[in-house]
A = this chain, B = another copy of it.
Amino acid sequence: MLEDKTPPKTELEQLGEFGLIDTLTKDIKLQHKSTLKGIGDDAAVLDFKDSKVVMTTDMLVEGVHFDLGFMPLKHVGYKAVMVNLSDVCAMNATPTQITVSIAVSNRFPLEALEELYSGIRLAAELYKVDVVGGDTTSSTKGMIISITALGIADEKKITYRSGAKPTDLLVVSGDLGGAYMGLKVMQRENEVFKVNPNNQPDLEPYQYIVERLLKPEARVDIVKLLSDLEVVPTSMIDISDGLSSEILHLCTHSKVGCDLYEEKLPLDPTVISVCEEFEVNSTTIALSGGDEYELLFTVAQKDYDKIKANPNLTVIGYMTEEAMGAHLVTRADQKIPLKAMGWNSFGEE
């Protein structure tokens, strides 16, 4: 049926993930008054009378999003939950429930699924979310995990991608580029292992970045911190596709420009040294390395005093008028247009 289809035929790589989602969802009309926000942010926002609920979903595919060659199944399960909780956090909401659907081929024994589930359970326990449902079925190839998360939010604090104003400060939690360099290290060790299985890799010097890759944490703590500091961000997104890509999302949705300062980018010493080892530019990695799950948000200038001393938060730039565009201001004080260099699952096949 598909094979004898006549043109038009548009390859998915041409569109990329965001273009594809836009194309597929542009005709969707919302009918329920309980739907405050549908597609187009980190999560949907639903109005169940007294409660505002956010809803988000993410699918992870073996061989596309994770490689069981170096990622233990327990970590896959943990990470699959984190990816979703991170989207809930990016709405300034608190995760409450998840459903978990898994498709696996017959090459996986029960014990493999139990290991996967032990990671899912650990994540649920640590982050106090309830696993309330799911589906488990067979696949024709590999493992696919689809998780949907719900969270509750204070209506006045729900943070969309669209609220940033010129002069707002751009803030990021944690540090950048660790997960990507962790992946590079693990891929290198995996190649070495294939050639010589007796060669035991010494990952000790890379512990921090390997953990950033294998055991990311959703920044529920930042949502709580912002609440404690009495700061409501004007816009927020999580960094799953790389910093520059996410900054451009905030700019597009908020209709603003941005000046991002290279010298302000928070980098862990391990990332700097591993970038030297791999002979890659650490700024490029900080800008384009995905899989971070840090929160990127904007705050009004008046809130600067509340956040400036916090070691978890770094002011990395400020928003400008839309016509100014989005730029990286280098250490040499040059302004370079920001480009989306994020990760595209369709381009990687």
Number of A interface residues at 8 Å Cβ cutoff, please give it. Answer: 96
Instruction: Give 1 or 0 for each of A127-146: 1 = CB within 8 Å of chain B CB.
Output: 01111111111111110101
Give the interface centre of A56, A70, A139, A140 by most chain B CB atoms within 10 Å: A139
A305 at the interface (CB under 8 A from B): no
Select one of B2, B46, B135 contacting A68, CB under 8 A. B2
Q: Which of A26-34, A224-232, A330-338 contacts B (4 or more CB under 8 A)?
A: A26-34
**Contact call A110/B61, Cβ cutoff below 8 A:** no
**Contact call B346/A111, Cβ cutoff below 8 A:** no
What chain B residues lie within 8 Å of A64 (beta carbons)? 103, 137-140
**Contact call A24/B112, Cβ cutoff below 8 A:** no
A207 at the interface (CB under 8 A from B): no
* Identical copies in the complex: 2
A320 at the interface (CB under 8 A from B): no
**Contact call B137/A17, Cβ cutoff below 8 A:** yes
What chain B residues lie within 8 Å of A110 (beta carbons)? 9-12, 14-15, 20, 23
A43 at the interface (CB under 8 A from B): yes
**Contact call A137/B61, Cβ cutoff below 8 A:** yes
A309 at the interface (CB under 8 A from B): no
* A35-B96 Cα distance, complex, nearest whole Å: 9
Considering only CB atoms, which chain B residue lies closest to A140 in the complex?
B63
**Contact call A28/B101, Cβ cutoff below 8 A:** no
Q: Decide: A55 near B346, CB < 8 A? Known: A121-B28, A128-B31, A132-B46.
A: no
- A54-69 residues with Cβ-Cβ distance < 8 A to B are 55-59, 61-65, 68-69
What chain B residues lie within 8 Å of A194 (beta carbons)? none
What chain B residues lie within 8 Å of A58 (beta carbons)? 101, 135
What chain B residues lie within 8 Å of A102 (beta carbons)? 59
A53 at the interface (CB under 8 A from B): yes
A-B contact list, 8 entries, CB within 8 Å: A2-B107, A9-B109, A12-B109, A24-B114, A49-B50, A55-B132, A63-B140, A64-B137
Additional pairs, 14, CB under 8 Å, beyond known A10-B110, A29-B125, A30-B132: A2-B112, A5-B112, A11-B109, A20-B113, A24-B114, A24-B136, A32-B129, A35-B132, A39-B134, A48-B53, A50-B51, A57-B135, A101-B146, A140-B141
